[in-house]
Structure 1
């Protein structure tokens, strides 16, 4: 509750209690000391979205463990006008507040020692609105809205507090806002009181225990769309109120997402055996949002495009809603109900939600084949995980610059793949029992990796061994690499196994590493295909194929593609598996393709050998296998060929590999076709039109794109003139071929649109030309006041990274405007490094990048690691080029 102000008196009585340890004199840039711990937070904010600043009053009920004259908290960019400590027993002390670290560490100093016991820290302050973090403003339709993004460090820019996951307590939120404004927060509204003047006070119910990064609120002329109640389910006998929050006039566009949200919540309740943990559920469609979505308890914020699909939308948009919504709703249990203690366990939130979101999405939408998506994410993560500068899933987080680095493929995709691998090894039902036990044991509190691993390993046949194996995947970096041979010389056939770390060509990492690999193999025993498992934890090992009656004709070392590891077969086994390609299931075909592309990446195959494998992949039934290795041909074209004529000839031969598949699909959608066909068509059309520059495909896309832009017609936008899955490619080709007239039309339509998907496609098209003057115009849009949403910066200029002719001007612009661009992208400002480095592939360029950005990235969230990894990737690219010199690019005979 809000405590009354007391007289500000001082006394010497507390001095005799002694002070906290001298260690507290050091600024805590990592976890805060536990000398002072909050038990409840009462936060009152006065917010007028039309103003540049807001003000607040916060009262933190705290427990003081030992006497101290210093309270360490967090607050960044706050103008603190009053701070006082009010003990339950004793007299108040005025506190002196200082921001003492660039990360936003706040030091509150009392004139006398604060005695152990309970009290309240009361602070008055005001602050500016942030830039896509903390409390920030958006203006999509000429009106001002306020929305929030607290994770990872935005909360400290919105209010002073204890801004780390282990401080988890109830919150009482009150918002004082303009009379006409809608105000929403984590908990249900309980009272609204008209105040003198044009403002009202909106009070919200006390929340469950939450960390600061899950606090959320929004203020402005929002539409509030009522969704269907989420019906009672199991132990939950009361329906859950579901609402959609969208910018004015946009609420009706949430009909599809609201209609389909209840099924996701119910499926998650059924899996966890625990009711939805909060009092209500609001889905907010944010007009500008740097992340895809954020799992705030009871008030999930999404990019508006994720909330606005309907039954007629592009396949990718509909699948994005289901996938992201299932991910964020899974967080309501994993992350919100049970929260990590520190950022080193971020994977407990994000790896779990990646795995669980795919599971629930696939359960409810089988045609999405989300198991393939989970596998593709794992294979993608292996790219970063192959760097010497990669990190562990469970990576120590020393200070704020490390936190943003943890939001990457290692946390999300490798974390999710590791959970999937051990679920498959332990068994789905025992694994679920472990998950339920974990949630019940730590509900409304915090937990660690060890807590989760102990809970799931306990359900296995060998808890100690499984736990040790699980830790081997989260506590060391790298991709396990298993060499496999076959020994049929004895009475029982056996696989000969050897493990090390996978190293790509040019890697400086050590090949050392020992994992407890849940190895599952399938092999052909005559006409029977058998499966066998082994927890392989030695440098070398032998797997006796005890059920085999003959020497296997082929062996798949990663059965069903469920393992997070790569493999290499002895030559005769590799040939046999290639011959048996059609007998492999769809995930096995994909990991077989990965074994080939990984061998190429490690220098064990030549470019010609990789090119020879592509036709087999292109014939596969699953789109992810069809395109495996496809984009690697563009690397060959750029770095191994000397001129445009050679590249054109090379591209024509690449096109011959995939043309039959594109012709089979056709260039236009077919009624009732599988979603995967639409997605594969989109990938192939984009590849043919923009990478291979295939004239026939470009001509068709040019006509479609011109129709969308209204060129040669009425000049109006005709957004449905081409299938939505192909519209981005069509617009890009039309602007590239149509020059200034097409660019002008695209810009006109962009300025008139509030549709986030269409805006992004128009911007991408405008930024995809090789015309220097037009590229300069696109870059100028970044700094035009109020025009671009901040998450549109990369769609606008990202196309200029893809062509060697446009990169120099983009780099010069980035150099000139580095501070402004980094600030606009914050807290993802480290991405500027990738923007600048695109196309670099030499030792000299790696050194130049290091020298230019080392100081720039020093205090940027995630900056130091981003720079290390980018520099390493450039050097590995250079090593690839050096190793491939003189190797021909020969295509298979057709």
Structure 2
């Protein structure tokens, strides 16, 4: 009896094993594709007429087949495959194509196995235009233009292929377009051959090895303007052709940005010690674009407002050009020349470009103080990184829904701040040498976090320790929180340091966690300020201040604000640091302010304690420190103040803190004033005019806004009637005060304008009136055919989310139109969660949002994480309210 059973069991196990193998072979790869077939060259021919509803094309992919297979996995989403075949030797084998997964996995099946070796795949297809992704159409002036946004998953909607970063090969791009159309792509144009029927065939030089998400082209009545050639530099002996590409009639607006692009390229070449990696550079000013910009090699796409500033533009606009362009050009090396292998290493692209872009921008424009901006971004990222549901810098990407979630502050700002922190610890020159070695080793290929960290750590005095520390920051979530005391009982003063994870009130995150923290410690040794570096790995550590000759007067545990960590000094030493506030470096002042705000968030300080610190911050020279904690007063006003009378009294107290700074600046810009003065004035004016409802400031801003709208004169738009840095706030006040006539005027000017900045400012004001009837009119603009660009949807409804009285109507509108809105906003539809949740701050609202939006977000790119983090944020808000209910909001100078 036992023997047959053993035979039966063996047969069952055998069949199960065969079934498992077959299942593995047929399972749809929703993550990285198998390496059974690897492309070596893609020849892409597309026939595009922007006036038509879609386009067609043929993709020929030369590839290596590692082992015989009857199934080839590629990507293609929403494509109509007319014909697919594989050619092996002289044999052409038909393939049956089908879309196997909502993410756009394409299954190609052969009736007989394709043998190992060389092969080519030919796929003829038709495709619709996308919605701000893939190949899509824009019509800013009534004429149709086609452009592309392939990252992260747009390429698979434009053509079939291997749409992931690890597949990196050259591309031959050919565009068949109407005779009168302009066509551009990643590389220099080759030939333009007339064809029958009013078409022409435009070929382009073969690209270097690129992943599909960096393929770019544009077709239509684009205007091309020449910029100055980028002169030879270092090992690059030939000039680089530089051009601007804009909608018809808009090219002249690119004079400033084209004139200043060469300096950025040259500075990056000098840093990297290697030439710009591509054969030309076109800057495309996109009339409708979700992102700020996209680093397509040789054809960088920017939101058009970033390409159109000049010397007289608002400070923020000019700085946005410099910062964004430096970021995208840094990508030409980090991301384009060397590419991540998979999306879990997106920070290698974006964190690096954030850090590098700030470095080059600051080098070329010292008045921008970009080191302060990088620090401010890091502090902002700490907010998201304080969530239990936060992601790691190096986060596993399970399927297509996770990729969009990776484009966040953790990747960009935390990634950039981590690089800056280790640069400070290793040393600027050694760090640069590590970067150069990394690029040289992996040029034209792919690399991982481990590759970069190894190259940087090798330049340090402690490669093993630095490597371990670096991984501790990218491979675990959360913000290190260092409790610091000073021990002067021995011969040498020392810091006693205890690590844990920073947790706000109500957090469900565990306190465990230890990092290899590269600290820069600054302290006062008598009249001398000394500094010391330390790499602290243990949860509890003792760091001796080896240069000290006595007990310090004060200690700053995050010297120069260089570290991505928060600290809490024991009360005695916190008081000492507060007393020495004016003696601190400007970045240290900002981190000292953050330590107070963080202690408040963690429940260590009461509201009155935070409010008492604000006057000290407000008097700081640096605007980011002057405004630190300002946002907390807004939160207190909405959630801790009982009624309108109490709110007015609270606002008066807040105004008293910041009025001296505003009075010193004045409401009118001063000739030759620092850029930071203009930006600080803008922040303070917005505080007084919009949140605090200060009568004097509102009167002046309303007057300026009415002049812009022409309400007191000829009815024409006079954009320069208000200072450019204040115009957006002036328009909001004018519409809030002016009712229907002001709204009518703003709408008239909006409909007549094609200027992206003017349109955005008018829309934002129209959406922020606070009047229910006008809110409804503003929302109606979203669905008026052909009126709004898709990146204008959020400006027109964003102000309504900020108005507590208007949120219910906005939520009802989102509920009624959710499917249409999500489709129009794709792939950014997850942003609807935050819009809907604005102002929610209770357990009941968290549960309601989770129940309603979890099904809606289930298959939306970035949706699952967005709903998880938004719900957690609401619950943390509720916990903050519960912990502080009834506490006094006294503001006293201490």
Which TM-score band applies after superposition, normalised by the shorter structure?
A: over 0.9
Do 1:38 and 1:167's aligned partners in 2 also have CA atoms closer than 8 Å? yes
Question: Cα deviation per residue 1:146-204 (whole Å; 9 max; x = unaligned)?
Answer: 01000000000000000000000000000011111100000110100111111111000
Do 1:485 and 1:573's aligned partners in 2 also have CA atoms closer than 8 Å? yes
Do 1:20 and 1:67's aligned partners in 2 also have CA atoms closer than 8 Å? no
Mapped to 1, the partners of 2:218 and 2:326 lie a distance apart of: 22
Q: Which residue matches 1:83? A: 84
Q: Which residue matches 2:15? A: none
Q: Which residue matches 1:270? A: 270
Alpha-carbon distance, 1:486 to partner = 0.7
Q: Secondary structure at the match of 1:806?
A: helix
Do 1:20 and 1:66's aligned partners in 2 also have CA atoms closer than 8 Å? no
Mapped to 2, the partners of 1:648 and 1:404 lie a distance apart of: 42
Mapped to 1, the partners of 2:823 and 2:678 lie a distance apart of: 38
Taking the TM superposition and a 5 Å limit, the aligned residue runs for 1:688-703 are: 688-703=688-703
Q: Which residue matches 2:678? A: 678
Do 1:525 and 1:548's aligned partners in 2 also have CA atoms closer than 8 Å? yes
Alpha-carbon distance, 1:90 to partner = 4.6
Q: Which residue matches 2:761? A: 761
Q: Secondary structure at the match of 1:413?
A: helix
Aligned alpha-carbon RMSD (Å): 0.9
Alpha-carbon distance, 1:125 to partner = 0.5
Do 1:24 and 1:33's aligned partners in 2 also have CA atoms closer than 8 Å? no
Taking the TM superposition and a 5 Å limit, the aligned residue runs for 1:166-205 are: 166-205=166-205
Q: Which residue matches 1:41? A: 42
Alpha-carbon distance, 1:893 to partner = 5.1
Taking the TM superposition and a 5 Å limit, the aligned residue runs for 1:220-259 are: 220-259=220-259
Taking the TM superposition and a 5 Å limit, the aligned residue runs for 1:566-585 are: 566-585=566-585
Q: TM-score, normalised by structure 2?
A: 0.97
Alpha-carbon distance, 1:20 to partner = 9.4
Do 2:613 and 2:893's aligned partners in 1 also have CA atoms closer than 8 Å? no
Q: Which residue matches 1:6? A: none
Q: Which residue matches 1:63? A: 64
Q: Secondary structure at the match of 1:851?
A: helix
Q: Which residue matches 2:785? A: 785
| 1:92 lines up with 2:125 in the alignment | no
Q: Which residue matches 2:477? A: 477
Mapped to 2, the partners of 1:798 and 1:486 lie a distance apart of: 47
Q: Secondary structure at the match of 1:891?
A: coil
Alpha-carbon distance, 1:648 to partner = 1.4
Do 2:140 and 2:287's aligned partners in 1 also have CA atoms closer than 8 Å? yes
Q: Secondary structure at the match of 1:542?
A: strand
Q: Which runs of 5+ in 1 are unaligned?
A: 1-18
Mapped to 1, the partners of 2:188 and 2:819 lie a distance apart of: 40
Q: Secondary structure at the match of 1:95?
A: strand
Do 1:400 and 1:861's aligned partners in 2 also have CA atoms closer than 8 Å? yes
Q: Secondary structure at the match of 2:721?
A: coil
Alpha-carbon distance, 1:670 to partner = 0.3
Alpha-carbon distance, 1:462 to partner = 0.4
Q: Secondary structure at the match of 1:782?
A: helix
Q: Which runs of 5+ in 2 are unaligned?
A: 1-19
Alpha-carbon distance, 1:774 to partner = 0.6
Question: Cα deviation per residue 1:612-661 (whole Å; 9 max; x = unaligned)?
Answer: 00000000000000000011101001001122221111111100100000
Q: Which residue matches 1:8? A: none
Taking the TM superposition and a 5 Å limit, the aligned residue runs for 1:388-537 are: 388-537=388-537
Mapped to 2, the partners of 1:806 and 1:269 lie a distance apart of: 51
| 1:871 lines up with 2:883 in the alignment | no
Q: Which residue matches 1:7? A: none
Mapped to 1, the partners of 2:25 and 2:747 lie a distance apart of: 56
Do 1:686 and 1:729's aligned partners in 2 also have CA atoms closer than 8 Å? yes
Q: TM-score, normalised by structure 1?
A: 0.97
Mapped to 1, the partners of 2:593 and 2:115 lie a distance apart of: 65
Question: Cα deviation per residue 1:220-244 (whole Å; 9 max; x = unaligned)?
Answer: 1111000000000111000000000
Mapped to 2, the partners of 1:147 and 1:685 lie a distance apart of: 38
Q: Which residue matches 1:861? A: 861
Q: Which residue matches 2:292? A: 292
Alpha-carbon distance, 1:546 to partner = 1.0
Mapped to 2, the partners of 1:546 and 1:833 lie a distance apart of: 52
Q: Which residue matches 1:147? A: 147
Mapped to 1, the partners of 2:258 and 2:63 lie a distance apart of: 39
Question: Cα deviation per residue 1:448-482 (whole Å; 9 max; x = unaligned)?
Answer: 00000000000000001100000000000000000
Q: Secondary structure at the match of 2:197?
A: coil
Do 1:20 and 1:68's aligned partners in 2 also have CA atoms closer than 8 Å? no
Alpha-carbon distance, 1:689 to partner = 0.4
Alpha-carbon distance, 1:24 to partner = 2.6
Q: Which residue matches 1:587? A: 587
Mapped to 1, the partners of 2:626 and 2:891 lie a distance apart of: 17
Q: Which residue matches 1:545? A: 545
Mapped to 1, the partners of 2:880 and 2:21 lie a distance apart of: 56
Do 1:553 and 1:576's aligned partners in 2 also have CA atoms closer than 8 Å? yes
Question: Cα deviation per residue 1:250-292 (whole Å; 9 max; x = unaligned)?
Answer: 0000000000000000000000011000000000000000000
Q: Which residue matches 2:217? A: 217
Mapped to 2, the partners of 1:462 and 1:432 lie a distance apart of: 17
| 1:729 lines up with 2:729 in the alignment | yes
Q: Secondary structure at the match of 1:383?
A: helix
